[in-house]
Structure 1
Amino acid sequence: MRVTNGMLITNMMRDYAKNMRNLEKLQSQLSSGKRILRPSDDPVAVSKSLKLRADLAYNQQYVSNADNAISWLEATESALKDLGDVLHRARELAVQASNGALAPEDRMAIADEIEQLQGHVVQVGNATYAGRYIFAGYRTDQPAFVEQNGSLVYQGDSGKIAFEIGVGNRIEVNVLGGEGGAEIDKIYDVLERFKNDLRSDNATNLGGYIGEIDQRMTQILSQRSMVGAKVNRFELIRARLKEEEINFTNLLSQNEDVDIAEVIVRLKEAENVYRASLAAGARIIMPTLMDFLR
């Protein structure tokens, strides 16, 4: 086969373009720090990266869920602590009121304080986290309790709010304000009857409230213990998720990132090849008619 000047130029231009593409790819890898610039570079690695990125996104969402769950539980624990403080003070007043030597005006003063404690119970029962009523079950968009005719009426339901912190792994975080939960309405009821007996000077019933208050305190302590245990569990889960996030990030880096030192060496090599191709091309195009007439 006869090799023509046109064939030499065509081959030279093809090789020249190939060297340019290789040089451009290496420069892009160096500037971006990424080994894979387009899916065609390494389809298998791209597929692996997509899976790792999905896992990382899920992991980050689980971390966010754990953070929100801990905040919810901490708000609940704070509210339960306030209820415990109310009951503790109510017990002190019940012990004081059971003393038969108290004057009627002293009982009225205790009744007034009990009424203030009732108001605080209502306020705590309608505590919120991020605008959601924490003791209302699923009905977080409305107050959990409302006062009606000397009673505290629970407006929530029995719904259990759970946060997902893994595939198929959900943990309930809310404490119900009514039956089976903190039973805040019953705390209010004890204080209401205690207050009324104080104001009606019904001294015979006053000593019995100590036991009722103790029962309510035990219920609140049980709920606080459960909340504290869940906070500890979520903190352990969050720590594990943080470690997994670091692991996923490292795997993604190993799959996508370039070895900078290796790329620099290859880039210098590609530059040398590119310059050599230019020099070779100049020698092919150089001859003219005058060169042949010499």
Structure 2
Amino acid sequence: MPIVSTSTSAFYDRSTMDIADLRKRAEGLQADLSRGQRISRSSDDPVGASRLRQLQRADSLSQIDVANAAKATADLQLTDGALGSLADYVIRLRELTTQAANGTMTAATRSGIGTEIEAIRNNIIQLANSRDAAGNALFGGQSAGDAYSIDAAGNATYIGTATAGDLPLGDGQNVTRALTGPEVFNFSVNGNPTNLLDALKTLADAFKAGGAGAQQAAQDGLAALNQGLDAVTTAQTVVGSRLSWIDLTTERRTNLGELRANEESDVGGTDIAATVAKLQETMTVLEASQASFTKLASLSLFQLLR
């Protein structure tokens, strides 16, 4: 008849390992509850950890898009304000030119109007060379300097870049952050290309020179100013559309951020109710195991033989 014996050392080792495993499981559940996350390292859930990294990377990229949207909004709002001032200038210029087109206007009065038009033109040049949020010319595109230079004769020349540059808003969407000088000041009159600054110089020079051509210059200038105001109004519409586009992409980005946050909670977040239940179950098993071990460890063969 074989004799079956139980190794005391093996019994203690096995019991110690089982109790230690239960304690480790309980501590892990308590840690999950305290930090609100069930994944502390990739080995806890490789698939879930990989998805969390993807979501966190998307959150980081979204912050860059938020910064770009804020910069584009600031530049476009500055542009919109400048266009509002420019429209007011052009409306005033039309009033002055309409007065100068009157046949009863004296040469001296037209000369005074020419001086005022010249002053408004200088203000418009300063407006064109005003700075954006980065310190560049507002209507100079991506140029670090002025948008327009003025030569000794008073002629204005655009020296900015051809485009204002785009800023990414995420998901392959971009927005042009401003307008260039030609996009605002250039237009055509009866099929002939011109720009507002040149038209104003022509008017001011004609009014100050006087003579029979001054009244005709005023009548011709009205057509140019009407086209110029249309160009400014169109530019305002473009800027408004871009600001609306930024608002739409911002709203979409916010919605996507909320969806990512919910998914992060689902993938890596701690289910409080389920975790508490598991913790209670584990603690119950741990207490029972400790009690059983204590009772079994106190038994001996001599006690069984009594």
Q: Distance in 2 between matches of 1:100 and 1:148?
A: 34
Match of 1:257 among 234, 244, 269: 269
User: Match for residue 102 of structure 2?
Assistant: 99
Q: Distance in 2 between matches of 1:50 and 1:143?
A: 45
Residue 128 of structure 1 aligns to a residue whose secondary structure is: coil
Instruction: Indicate yes or no: 2:196 matched with 1:193.
Output: no
Q: Distance in 1 between matches of 2:142 and 2:95?
A: 35
Instruction: Indicate yes or no: 2:110 matched with 1:113.
Output: no
Residue 164 of structure 1 aligns to a residue whose secondary structure is: strand
Which letter maps to 2:155? Answer: S
Aligned residue pairs: how many? 292
Counterparts of residues 1-294 of structure 1 (less than 5 Å): 2-130=5-133, 131-139=135-143, 141-149=144-152, 150-178=154-182, 180-183=183-186, 186-202=195-211, 203-204=214-215, 205-286=217-298
Unpaired runs of 5+ residues, structure 1, are none
Which letter maps to 1:19? Answer: L
How far the C-alpha of 1:260 sits from its partner, in A, is 0.7
How far the C-alpha of 1:26 sits from its partner, in A, is 0.4
Contact 1:194–1:206 under 8 Å retained in 2: yes
**Percent of pairs with identical residues:** 26
Deviation sequence 1:119-151 (CA, Å, 0-9, x none): 220121023221232311221x21212222211
Q: Distance in 1 between matches of 2:147 and 2:163?
A: 12
Higher RCO structure, 1 or 2 (CA under 8 Å, sep 6+): 1
Contact 1:52–1:252 under 8 Å retained in 2: yes
Q: Distance in 1 between matches of 2:180 and 2:10?
A: 85
Unpaired runs of 5+ residues, structure 2, are 188-193
How far the C-alpha of 1:181 sits from its partner, in A, is 4.5
Residue 185 of structure 2 aligns to a residue whose secondary structure is: coil
Q: Distance in 2 between matches of 1:133 and 1:188?
A: 17
Moved more, 101-110 or 84-93: 101-110
Q: Distance in 1 between matches of 2:275 and 2:24?
A: 15
Contact 2:136–2:142 under 8 Å retained in 1: no
Q: Distance in 1 between matches of 2:243 and 2:204?
A: 36
Q: Distance in 1 between matches of 2:206 and 2:96?
A: 13
Deviation sequence 1:188-219 (CA, Å, 0-9, x none): 22222222222222334233211111121122
Q: Distance in 2 between matches of 1:133 and 1:24?
A: 61
| TM-score (structure 1 length as normaliser) | 0.88
Q: Distance in 1 between matches of 2:131 and 2:90?
A: 21
Residue 156 of structure 2 aligns to a residue whose secondary structure is: strand
Deviation sequence 1:257-289 (CA, Å, 0-9, x none): 11111111211222222222332333344469x
Deviation sequence 1:31-90 (CA, Å, 0-9, x none): 011111211111011111112222233334334433332332222222222211111100
